């Protein structure tokens, strides 16, 4: 008995993303005891692929939780004093809110939607108040705006200071953008299974630096479930901290094999090509439909995995999303304050330019229809 899958290439949310049927099928294997040799073999087998994905020689943890769990692990494990949150959108603000909820004093450097977090602003803040913070948080690919912040440069600024750590939310970058955790000198970097890795939701993955672990050993009141030291210890033994979602690990194993077969460089090229195609499409909309179309993210800082398209004032994102849904395609509205002003297209995971092309054609038609209707409406009303 199998559940029929709709054709692949219709579901473009910026998370969760579409999962290949063969990856879903991997989850049909029998459940096994997680302290037995089969689980240890599985974890040892995926270990090299995980390290390659994160650009690290350190062990990568797999947590049975969504990505937010490991964001909480970063805050509770790495901040003993005060957090500086770099906020360029809703997910940067989530990191700030987690710090607040976990009882850590927190300051934020905010920028306008579409702008990246910059090393200049960070350097200036750290210079103005030396020693105030012991942890900086940043989102690599800000899913709410489609901005890719320059994490390597931000990490270099953090490294200018002693006793300061950098935690990176790589939820929509890992698997779609090259990650060089060791070379950058970041201290913690996390992702979730359901974004650019194109796995079902339910797993989070992360890696910590030696500096981070030293800090975690000194910070009191860390979480029990999200204990970085426990993750590190267990990962080195090819074990998990608690009962893992074994079925999802089967999917992870299958997907890492698929990623290896494609090659990381090829995978990153494919994501860049999809983002470029979106950009060109928006240029076309501007030229042929309405000059009000645009891309929210500043040029030079656009994420290869998600594009937020700003709409002319006559169009509402909710209407477009609904109209596309009727045609069998799924995209997202804007996020938070930008809900009606933008649509967001998640071109990440296993999508191809060809599949994206079909979506863009449909979306263009839906936009054209909505624009015609909006320009017709006042004439009808006024006559």
Ligand X SMILES: *Cc1c(COP(=O)(O)O)cnc(C)c1O
In whole angstroms, the minimum distance from the beta carbon of 192 to ligand X comes to 4
- Using CA atoms, how far residue 190 sits from 56, 169, 349, in Å, is 13, 5, 16
Site string for ligand X, 197-236 (x = CB under 6 A): ----------------------------------------
Is 91 a binder of ligand X (CB under 6 A)?
yes
Is 68 a binder of ligand X (CB under 6 A)?
yes
Task: Map tokens 């294997």 to a residue.
Answer: 29
Is 66 a binder of ligand X (CB under 6 A)?
yes
Is 139 a binder of ligand X (CB under 6 A)?
yes
Closest by alpha carbon to 228, among 49, 81, 63? 63
For 64, the token pair is 């049975």
In whole angstroms, the minimum distance from the beta carbon of 294 to ligand X comes to 22
User: Which residue number, 106 or 370, has a Cβ lying nearer to ligand X?
Assistant: 106
Is 143 a binder of ligand X (CB under 6 A)?
yes
In whole angstroms, the minimum distance from the beta carbon of 172 to ligand X comes to 5
User: Which residue number, 126 or 171, has a Cβ lying nearer to ligand X?
Assistant: 171
Rounded distance, CA 230 to CA 198, Å? Answer: 27
In whole angstroms, the minimum distance from the beta carbon of 375 to ligand X comes to 35
Per CB under 6 A, the list member of 192, 206, 304, 312 interacting with ligand X is: 192
In whole angstroms, the minimum distance from the beta carbon of 342 to ligand X comes to 15
For 171, the token pair is 């939820």
User: Which residue number, 285 or 332, has a Cβ lying nearer to ligand X?
Assistant: 332
- Using CA atoms, how far residue 201 sits from 148, 217, 252, 270, 326, in Å, is 23, 30, 11, 22, 25
In whole angstroms, the minimum distance from the beta carbon of 371 to ligand X comes to 30
Helix (H) or strand (E) holding 124: helix 119-128
Measured CA angle at 55 (ends 42, 75), to 5 deg: 85
Is 63 a binder of ligand X (CB under 6 A)?
no
Three-state DSSP at 262 gives helix
Rounded distance, CA 228 to CA 334, Å? Answer: 34
CA 134 from chain centre, in angstroms, equals 24
In whole angstroms, the minimum distance from the beta carbon of 363 to ligand X comes to 21
In whole angstroms, the minimum distance from the beta carbon of 107 to ligand X comes to 20
Q: Are 28 and 246 in contact (CB under 8 A)?
A: no
User: Which residue number, 55 or 170, has a Cβ lying nearer to ligand X?
Assistant: 170
- Residue 66: Cβ within 10 Å count: 16
Is 93 a binder of ligand X (CB under 6 A)?
no
Rounded distance, CA 357 to CA 212, Å? Answer: 43
User: Which residue number, 132 or 225, has a Cβ lying nearer to ligand X?
Assistant: 225
Per CB under 6 A, the list member of 26, 27, 42, 67 interacting with ligand X is: 67
Torsion of the alpha carbons at 309, 312, 336 and 9, rounded to the nearest 10: -40
User: Which residue number, 172 or 255, has a Cβ lying nearer to ligand X?
Assistant: 172
In whole angstroms, the minimum distance from the beta carbon of 261 to ligand X comes to 26
In whole angstroms, the minimum distance from the beta carbon of 4 to ligand X comes to 27
Closest by alpha carbon to 305, among 259, 274, 336? 274
Q: Which stretch binds ligand X (CB under 6 A): 62-70, 97-105, 222-230, 344-352?
A: 62-70
Is 15 a binder of ligand X (CB under 6 A)?
yes
Size of the site for ligand X (CB under 6 A): 12
For 348, the token pair is 């990440």
Rounded distance, CA 58 to CA 193, Å? Answer: 19
- Using CA atoms, how far residue 62 sits from 26, 65, 239, in Å, is 17, 9, 10
Site string for ligand X, 165-184 (x = CB under 6 A): ----x-xx------------
The residues that touch ligand X, with contacts defined as CB under 6 A, are 15, 66-68, 91, 139, 143, 169, 171-172, 192, 195
């Amino acid at each position: 008995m199998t559940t029929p899958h709709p054709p692949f290439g219709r579901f473009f949310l910026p998370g969760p993303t579409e999962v290949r049927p063969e990856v879903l099928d991997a989850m049909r294997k029998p459940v096994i005891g997680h302290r037995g040799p089969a689980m240890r073999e599985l974890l040892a087998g995926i270990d090299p692929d995980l390290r390659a994905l994160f650009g690290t020689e350190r062990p990568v943890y797999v947590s049975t939780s969504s990505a937010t769990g490991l964001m909480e692990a970063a805050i509770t494990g790495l901040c003993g004093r005060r957090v500086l949150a770099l906020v360029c959108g809703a997910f940067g603000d989530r990191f700030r809110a987690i710090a607040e909820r976990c009882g850590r004093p927190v300051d934020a450097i905010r920028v306008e939607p579409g702008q990246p977090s910059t090393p200049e602003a960070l350097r200036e803040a750290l210079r103005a108040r030396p020693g105030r913070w012991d942890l900086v948080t940043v989102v690599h690919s800000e899913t709410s705006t489609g901005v890719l912040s320059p994490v390597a440069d931000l990490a270099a600024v953090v490294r200018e200071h002693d006793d300061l750590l950098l935690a990176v939310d790589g939820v929509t970058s890992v698997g779609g953008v090259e990650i060089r955790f060791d070379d950058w000198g970041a201290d913690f970097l996390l992702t979730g299974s359901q974004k650019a890795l194109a796995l079902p939701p339910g797993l989070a993955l992360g890696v910590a630096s030696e500096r981070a672990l030293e800090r975690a050993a000194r910070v009191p009141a860390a979480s029990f479930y999200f204990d970085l030291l426990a993750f590190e210890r267990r990962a080195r033994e090819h074990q998990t901290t608690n009962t893992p979602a074994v079925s999802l690990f089967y999917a992870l194993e299958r997907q890492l094999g698929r990623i290896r077969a494609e090659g990381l460089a090829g995978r990153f090229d494919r994501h860049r090509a999809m983002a470029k195609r979106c950009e060109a499409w928006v240029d076309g909309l501007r030229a042929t439909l309405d000059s009000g179309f645009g891309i929210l993210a500043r040029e030079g800082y656009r994420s290869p995995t998600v594009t937020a398209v700003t709409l002319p004032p006559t169009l509402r994102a909710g209407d477009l999303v609904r109209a596309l849904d009727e045609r069998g395609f799924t995209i997202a509205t804007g996020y938070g304050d930008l809900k009606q002003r933008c649509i967001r297209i998640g071109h990440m995971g296993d999508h191809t330019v060809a599949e994206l092309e079909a979506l863009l054609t449909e979306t263009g038609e839906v936009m054209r229809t909505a624009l015609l209707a909006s320009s017709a409406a006042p004439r009808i009303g006024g006559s």
